[in-house]
Each structure stands twice: as C-alpha cells, then as structure tokens.
C-alpha cells in the first residue's frame, strides 16, 4: 500500500510516526492531507479522452478465434491418440505374426500327423501280410505244433563272469 493512499486513515500511531521520520530523512517535508475536491474541467476532459481511447482499443483489439484456442488445447489429446494408434497398430502386426506362426505350426503338425498315420498304416499292413503268411504256412503244415513262423536267432557267445552264480541246474 502506498504512503499516499487515502485508505491509510486508520493505521497505528507508530506507523504514522515512522513514516514522518522517513519523510524528514528523505527531505520531503510534511504532507498535507488532501481533501477530496471536485474535478476540474481539464481533469474531466482528460478522463473522457482516456475512456474513449480505452473503448476504441477494446473494439479494435484483435480477438483470437476460438477454434485456434480449441486446436491448441486439443494438441496433447491428439498426440495421445496418435501414440495409442501407433501402439495398437504395432500390437495388431504382432498378433497377426503370432497367428500366422501358429497356423504354420498347425499345418506342420497336421502334415506330420498324416505322415505318421500313413507309416502306421503301412506297418499295420505289413503285420497283417506277415500274419496271413504265417497262417498260410501253418495251414500247409510246415512244422507241427507251431502255429506261427519261428525265426531262428543266432545267440552270441556268452562268457561267464567271475561273479556269476548259477540258480538252476541245466536240464539234461
């Protein structure tokens, strides 16, 4: 608050005394209390001129369009949306890649399953043919008492170890 402000009518005596001492030190001398007086015609004319100039400036003041203000406010939102769109686009490409990889794996598994099934069918067919041949041989009377084909196997020569212990007797 300025020292010349008329709103300082109700201030403590210490402040008034301090201000008076400061005025004396600065060489300003005592200030006479100004009484409100009626404005002079010069002051009235000056006030009217100032009012007219203020109105002229307020009318001619360039006002910003509201769309520019809205566009400025929307820039962060637009940046966030672009960022989310880019992230979503990357996630979509990632998901498409994973789906394509899963489809390739599924096709490979299907191919391997079909290959395995055909191999099993071939093995089954070979076993059936072998069984049919055994039945034919058994019907023709190859060996009596053996209804199926016996394939002789040569047994390798066994060596007896030191810690070998016989459990049964050899039948003679």
Mean pLDDT of the 156-164 span: 62
Position 5 pLDDT exceeds 80: no
Of 107 and 34, the one with more pLDDT: 107
Residue 160 pLDDT grade (very low, low, confident, very high; cuts 50, 70, 90): low
Q: Does the CA dihedral 111-113-118-123 come out positive or negative?
A: positive
- Listed range (14-18, 53-57, 148-152) with the worst mean pLDDT: 148-152
Residues 79 and 84: their CA atoms lie apart, in Å, by: 9
pLDDT at 89 over 90: yes
In the prediction, which pLDDT does 172 show?
59
Q: What is the pLDDT of residue 60?
A: 79
Average pLDDT over every residue of 92-103: 96
> Using only C-alpha atoms, what is the Rg of the chain?
57
Whether 33 shows a pLDDT value over 80: the answer reads no
Residue-level pLDDT at 57 = 85
- DSSP for the chain, please give it: --TT-GGGGS--HHHHHHHHHHHHHHT----PPPPP-PPPHHHHHHHHHHHHHHHHHHHHSPPPPHHHHHHHHHHHHHHHHHHHHHHHHHHHHHHHHHHHHHHHHHHHHHHHHHHHHHHHHHHHHHHHHHHHHHHHHHHHTSSTT--S-----PPPPP---TT----SPPP-
């Amino acid at each position: 608050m300025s020292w010349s402000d008329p709103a300082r009518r109700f201030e403590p005596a210490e402040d008034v005394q301090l201000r008076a001492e400061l005025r004396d030190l600065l060489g300003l001398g005592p200030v006479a209390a100004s009484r409100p007086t009626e404005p002079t015609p010069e002051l009235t004319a000056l006030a009217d001129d100032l009012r007219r100039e203020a109105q002229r400036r307020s009318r001619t003041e360039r006002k910003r369009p509201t769309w520019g203000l809205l566009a400025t406010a929307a820039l962060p939102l637009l940046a966030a949306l672009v960022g989310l769109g880019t992230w979503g686009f990357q996630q979509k490409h990632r998901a498409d890649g994973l789906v394509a990889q899963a489809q390739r794996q599924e096709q490979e598994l299907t191919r391997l399953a079909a290959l395995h099934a055909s191999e099993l069918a071939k093995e089954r067919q070979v076993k059936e043919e072998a069984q049919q041949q055994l039945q034919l041989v058994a019907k023709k009377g190859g060996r009596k008492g053996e209804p199926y084909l016996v394939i002789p196997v040569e047994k390798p020569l066994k060596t007896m170890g030191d810690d070998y212990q016989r459990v049964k007797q050899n039948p003679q």
